[in-house]
Amino acid sequence: MDTRKEKTHKKIKDTYLKLIKKKDPSHISAIELCEAAEINRSTFYDHFGYMDGLVNEVIRDQVNIICNMEGVEKVATSDENGHIPRQVIEKIVNNYLNNEIIQIFLKSDRSNVYNQIIMDEQTKRTMVKLNCEFCYLRVYFMNVGLFMTLSKWLSSNKKMPIEKLIDIAYDYSIATYK
């Protein structure tokens, strides 16, 4: 992309991020976004194709931020039982709990759809971060546990202890081999 296209692309995403802080992401239309970003709809569609294309890219960006945060460094070996190390799961959970954008998506009216997108992206990124040493299913089930409990945690007004979230995600990651 040339510089002008890159600026427009960034402007659209930045505008969307501002809008979702005020309104449920599932209720934002392309028309509303284009008006707020002061662009034509054809410009939006040239960049993202459709709203779900924008949502997917925003979620992918957030998952990349979370996975690149300090503490989720590459892990060369599994723990003594061949599982994903608990400290990696703990860092990922804490990084998600500190990410305002992901929390907006998980509280949305379409949280089940967004949850699946986030989980798929997280699984891909975790496989890269963990050097693909672990079975894909093990990583996937860790993320199933993580996002099920994150959704419950958010809907319970954050009453569940964070340690419980970590325990559940860890238990899901080892459940694939029981």
Query: What is the length of the chain?
Result: 178
At residue 5, the pLDDT reads: 92
Burial class (CB in 10 A: 0-12, 13-18, 19+), 49: exposed
What region, left, alpha or beta, does residue 23 occupy, with left being phi > 0 and alpha being psi -120 to 50 degrees? beta
Determine the distance from the C-alpha atom of residue 74 to the mean position of all C-alpha atoms in its chain, rounded to a whole number: 18
Q: φ and ψ at 6, to 5 degrees?
A: -65, -40
- Confidence bin at 7 (pLDDT 50/70/90): very high
* Residues 87-91, mean pLDDT to the nearest whole number: 77
* Residues 155-159, mean pLDDT to the nearest whole number: 67
- Confidence bin at 77 (pLDDT 50/70/90): very low
* Residues 153-163, mean pLDDT to the nearest whole number: 71
At residue 74, the pLDDT reads: 47
The per-residue pLDDT for range 59-75, each reduced to its tens digit, is 888 887 877 665 555 44
